[in-house]
Structures are given as structure tokens and as C-alpha cells.
Structure 1
Amino acid sequence: MLWDNTSQYLRRCVRNMNFTAQERISVYAHVDGWFILAGRFSPDPQRNDPRRRKFPFNEGCIGKAWNSPEACHGTLPNPDKNLSHYVKMSQRRFDLPESVARDIRMKSRQYYARALQSDKTGTRVGVIVLESLSNSCFNSQELNTLISGKEEHLASLVMSSAGVSIFLRGSNSIGGIT
């Protein structure tokens, strides 16, 4: 239910952005030193299905955004043309282990990630990530404006998602769903 509510809210957030099947938006809650996938939307239903729901706090664009005062954004080379270069740049830019970079199903070329802060608690509670298989889809300034206007509601959804952490301890799943 919470996953569905968060995912539907994300769908509404990007309604006017002309999202295609090549884009995806995800929100992660920070719980006990991990990031827990709290919701996701892409016009392509296959991109909505999570392979993992639990991520290390210090890896990827999620970790970069969490540890940065500003949004993390960047582009990566085309993995279809040179997978080795894509993997190497993923390691360099986002501190991803080689095996993780190779195993990612959606090998996105453009990323925008930003920590979400709750005005109620005054603390960071999670990270929002927009990604695309295209290398020129997002405008960081427009995304900052979009997210700023929705940040408190996103933060409240993330804080609600943090309550499911009891199901995640020691596993990569929620209720048996990996």
C-alpha cells in the first residue's frame, strides 16, 4: 500500500515532464545506514519492478547525493557502445563496485539525485533519483524547482516508508519480495 501510494505520487510529480519509457524516478528512505526503495515510477512497467530494495548508504548516485549539500547529477557513456568504459565511469563518478555497475539492469546515462530534507525534523530522510537512458533529458535547474515544491510531501512519504525497515534487516527483500 505504501509502495503504491509513493509510486503514484511520483507518477503525478513527473506528469508534465514528458517522461518516456527511457526515464525513471525513484525515492529511497535512509534507514539504519541503508537506503530502502520506497517508491518508483516509469512509463515502462518493466522499469518499475525492483530487483533490489536495499542499497548501501555510500554507493552510487544515492550515496553521493546523501553526502553532498547539493544535487548530484551527471552523464555516463553509452554502455551499448562500450560497456567497460561505462563501468569504469560508474566506478569513478558514483563509487559503484564493478560487479554492481555491470549488473545494473537499467544502465542509465543521465542521473539527477538529491537528498530530501524534512522541515518537520530538520534532518535528511532520503534521496530522490531521476534517471534516463538518454544523455540529455534532464535540466538540473528545472528539477531543483520541481522537487523543492514537493519536498515536504516526499519527505513525509519517505518517513512513513522508514517504518518498514523491520522487514528489511538482514535481507534484500520486503516480506519475501526481493
Structure 2
Amino acid sequence: MFSKFGFSGSSSFFKNLGDGIGKGLFILCAASGTILLTVGGAYAGSYSFDTNWNATSNFWPCAWLILYNPNSALIGGGLLFLFGAIGTYKDQDRQNKKMNQLVTENEELNNTKSELNSAQEELQDSKSRIISLHGELVQTWLKGMSKMLQLDSNSRITIYYEHDEEFYLLERFSKNPTYAKIHRQKFPLNQGVISKAWQHEQFIEDKCPHSSTYQDYVDYLRSSYGYESEKISSLTMHSCRYYARAIIDADIHIGVIVFESTEINFFDNDLCAKIGQYCSEHQGQLSKFVRDSLSFDKEVNIKKKGKGISVEDDILQTMEADV
């Protein structure tokens, strides 16, 4: 119990008591002064100090008479009331100043919050513009690659990057606007053509039958990649040829680039060798595209823009060639 008090104690009883007395002192003085003024005023009219003074002798009776008489009550009450009134006024004035200061600080805080929100919005807008410009840059680069490799409207190129054990679609290009559309942004790490290239640095699919022999095409995808028939029929692009290559930065796999086509002659004219050489020569640029996308936090940007997942969402769970 006693450990709560003293210099090292944890009790705030006496501090709170002192604060309470200090805050109520002026009110107490004013109230006491009012009482003394009332009592003194009630007896002062019929009271004669001279008469009582002449009838009093010795020190203590005289001192008592001086202190305890209606006139002294009026004087003391007036002084107490004046002291209490002035103190209360000053105390209220200090409180008003403090309240005004708090109001001013609150307004400044609200202004600061508003400025901070505006700055955050401007920052987000700037970030969105940078991401958009980055996307346009990657698109232009893919377009130049497609032109150099002489790819037609039956093919497309897509870049994916890995983040938090999932693949995210960075950018895509195709001369065919239908194939160039992006319906899905996120893909599993352990399925499909992308996964095989991610694990083994390169993967080539050159045995899949053309979709014109639809049942053979479906059977092959089902047996090779575990697709269900309804998912295969939902694909926008029924690709049968894939070339996927890992994007490597300092011996670390950070993404995958996928070339695909709906035609079985896609790899004619030694296209695989040309793609491999081009990717090797531009590995640094591909790595930079992926690193920049990671720094821009693509997933947050996707959610901000409200890009949804289409009906094809679960489709190319492995071929990452469509979605």
C-alpha cells in the first residue's frame, strides 16, 4: 500500500487533489466572499464599532473585536469576492485562449490532413501515369520484337513477372486485337507452359494438334495439361505452338516471356533459334521491364483500376497463353 506514495510511488492522488484545489480555489473564494458580504450586510446597519471598542479592554478581546465584526466581514468578503472574481476571470480567459489555440491547431491539423490527402492523390496519379508510360514502353518494345520476328496476326507475345508465388501479366502484344486483349491478370506459379519455362529456363510446345481437329486438340490439352473440355472451349485463342523463356536477373528467375500461335507452322524458318537469340541479346532489357513492374506494385494498381477477372479466369491455368 505505502509503495504507492513517496518519490518513487505510482499514486497520483495528491497530485489530483492539488489540481482540484487549485482549480476550485477562486470559486471557493468568491463563494466565501459572497457569504461574508451577506452576513456582514445583515448586521452592519445596527452595529456600532465605537461603542463595542470603548467597552473592550486587553489585547485579545480587542483583536477578536477587530476580526469578528460586520464591518470586517464586509471588507474581508469584498476582498475575497474580488480575488475570486478576478481569479475566475483570468482562469476562464486562460481556458478560452487554450480552447482557441486548440481550435486553431485543429484547423491546422485538418488543413495538413487535406494537403496530405491531396499530395497522396497527386502521388498516386503520378504513379499511375508512370505505370501507363511504362506499359506503353513495353508494348512498343514487344511490337518491335514482333515486327523483327515477322510474326503474323495468328500469334502473340506476353510478358509475365513473378510476385509472391504467383505470375502477373505485365504486357502483351498481337497484331490481332482479339488476341491482344487482357482478360486475366494473375496466374498460378506451378501450372502450364509458364511454369515449365520458369522451372527449366525454356519450354517449347510443338506437338499440340491444330484446333481444326478439335477433338484431337481437346484430348491433347486434357492429357498434357489437365484441362477440362469446357475450359478449352472457352479459350479466346486456341494456340497449338508455344515458346516460353524465363527472364533471369543475376541468376534469379523473375519472369517469363511467352510466344504463341494458333498455327502449326509457327516454328518454320528456324523461328525458335531467332527467338532464343533475340531474348538472350535483350535479357537485360527484359529484366529491367520486370524489375520496374515489381517496383510499381502492379497488383495494387490492378485493384485500384478495378480490373476484374473474366470468364476465362481459370482457363489457361497452365498455358498462360490465353487469358
TM-score range, shorter chain: 0.7 to 0.9
The residue aligned with 2:260 is: 131
Structure-2 change in CA distance of 1:137 and 1:164 (3 Å): same
- Report the secondary structure of 1:67's partner residue: helix
Local SS of the residue matching 1:112: strand
Following TM superposition, the consecutive aligned residue runs of length 4 or more in structure 1 with deviations greater than 3 angstroms are 69-73, 99-102
Q: Aligned with 1:154: secondary structure? A: helix
Counterparts of 1:92 and 1:76, CA distance in 2 = 11
* Corresponding residue for residue 50 of structure 1: 182
Q: Is the counterpart of residue 164 in structure 1 residue 295 in structure 2? A: no
Q: Does 1:177 align with 2:293?
A: no
Secondary structure at the counterpart of residue 138 of structure 2:
helix
Instruction: Report which stretch shifted further, 61-70 or 21-30.
Output: 61-70
Rounded Cα–Cα distance in structure 2 between residues aligned with 1:68 and 1:48: 27
The structure showing larger relative contact order (alpha-carbon pairs under 8 Å, at least 6 residues apart) is 1
Find the aligned partners of 1:129 and 1:41 in 2 and give their Cα distance.
11
Q: How far did 1:40 drift?
A: 0.6
Counterpart Cα distance in 2 of 1:87 and 1:174:
37
1:66–1:127: 8 Å Cα contact kept in structure 2?
Answer: yes
Provide the TM-score with structure 1 as the length reference.
Answer: 0.85
Normalised to the residue count of structure 2, the TM-score between the two structures is 0.49
Larger helix proportion, structure 1 or 2? Answer: 2
Amino acid aligned to 1:164: K
What RMSD, in angstroms, separates the aligned Cα atoms of the two structures? 1.9
**Structure 1 segment 61-140 matched on structure 2, within 5 A:** 61-82=193-214, 84-93=215-224, 95-98=225-228, 99-119=230-250, 122-138=251-267, 139-140=271-272
**Cα drift, residue 174 of structure 1:** 6.6
User: Which amino acid in structure 2 is aligned with residue 124 of structure 1?
Assistant: H
Give, in whole Å, the separation in 1 of the partners of 2:137 and 2:226: 30
Q: Partners in 2 of 1:9 and 1:69 — Cα distance?
A: 22
Structure 1 or 2, whichever has the larger Rg, is: 2
Contact 2:159 2:258 in 1 (8 A): yes
The structural deviation recorded for 1:103 is: 2.5
Number of positions where the alignment pairs a residue of Structure 1 with one of Structure 2: 170
8 A Cα contact 1:64 1:72, kept in partner: no
Asked if the contact 1:29–1:158 (Cα under 8 Å) also holds between the matched residues in 2, the reply is yes
Q: Deviations over 1:92-137 (max 9, x none)?
A: 33x3532543322101111100111013xx3111000000111111
Shift in Å, 1:151: 1.2
Partners of 2:245 and 2:257 within 8 A in 1: yes
CA offsets per residue over residues 151-176 of structure 1, 9 Å max, x none? 111111012222213346xxxx6721
Q: Residue 61 of structure 1 aligns to which amino acid in structure 2? A: V
1:35 to 156, 161, 167: 167
5+ long unaligned stretches in structure 2: 1-131, 309-323
**Structure 1 or 2: more strand by fraction:** 1
